[in-house]
Amino acid sequence: MSKKNVLIIGASSGIAEAVARRYAEQGSNFVLVARSQAKLDVIAADLIARGAKGVQTRLWEGHDTASLPEIAGFAWSALGTVDLALIAHGTLPDQPRAQRDLAYALEQFRTNGESAVACMLALAGHFEAQGNGVLAVIGSVAGDRGRGSNYVYGAAKAAVDALASGLRAQLFKKGVHVLTIKPGFVATPMTAELDLPAALTATPDRVAADIQRAVDARCNVLYTPWFWTWIMRIIRFLPTAIFKRLSL
């Protein structure tokens, strides 16, 4: 595998860091985008130590969709071409609070849905003009079917899934690949407070390895780890009469 020019939006997330470390070991160049300069500085120094050829950083808040065209332009100007863009930012909403606080629920939907959609749209034109590369976005298995325990998050990720599917069909004809990544449970700082089932919970590095293979193989949709393909197939096809009685 050769070095790449990599843009990561949400670069301080656990999965994004793990992905970046893998590409750094190949001598890749990076533009990293996140909301904390202190975290970006730490990540950049780590990537350089691991072999990255160069790292440039930009601050960005997830709701600031107006600045995305400028950030996309900066990335292409800094890197020349972008071989891989990974959209990885997000939050894990407090579902009970979302059920009683409309403003909070909509804020979470914007962060996990609208913002990621805006990122994809802001990058799509650059990829189309370039005529190659991979646009990857982290969705979730939660987007496959709305569940009672996290339907605000699931609805936002479903929007990401639908936009990526349409963009994949459009950009395929231009030589660009769109990858939708659907992790299950992952042990990251975002999930640190949750009591996740150990047997179903992956490390960020395992997910990053799957993402790297999916990028190289030009996969359309990645369930990671692999067994979520079968778990979600069962969940998607459960009859509603049964599904609505489950505590999922």
Is residue 223 among the annotated active site residues? Answer: no
Query: What is the Cα–Cα distance from 107 to 8, expressed in whole angstroms?
Result: 22
Nearest to residue 146, comparing CAs of 181, 95, 190? 95
DSSP assignment, residue 4? -
Catalytic residue among 23, 104, 151, 153: 153
DSSP assignment, residue 188? S
Query: What is the Cα–Cα distance from 120 to 176, expressed in whole angstroms?
Result: 13
Phi and psi of 130, rounded to 5°?
A: -70, -35
Q: In whole angstroms, how far apart are CA 248 and each of 133, 146, 155, 229?
A: 37, 10, 15, 17
* Residue indicated by tokens 């962060």: 111
Greatest extent of the chain over all pairs of C-alpha atoms, in Å: 55
- The answer to whether 180 touches 164, Cβ cutoff 8 Å, is yes
Nearest to residue 93, comparing CAs of 34, 149, 163, 136? 149
Where in the sequence numbering do the catalytic residues fall?
153
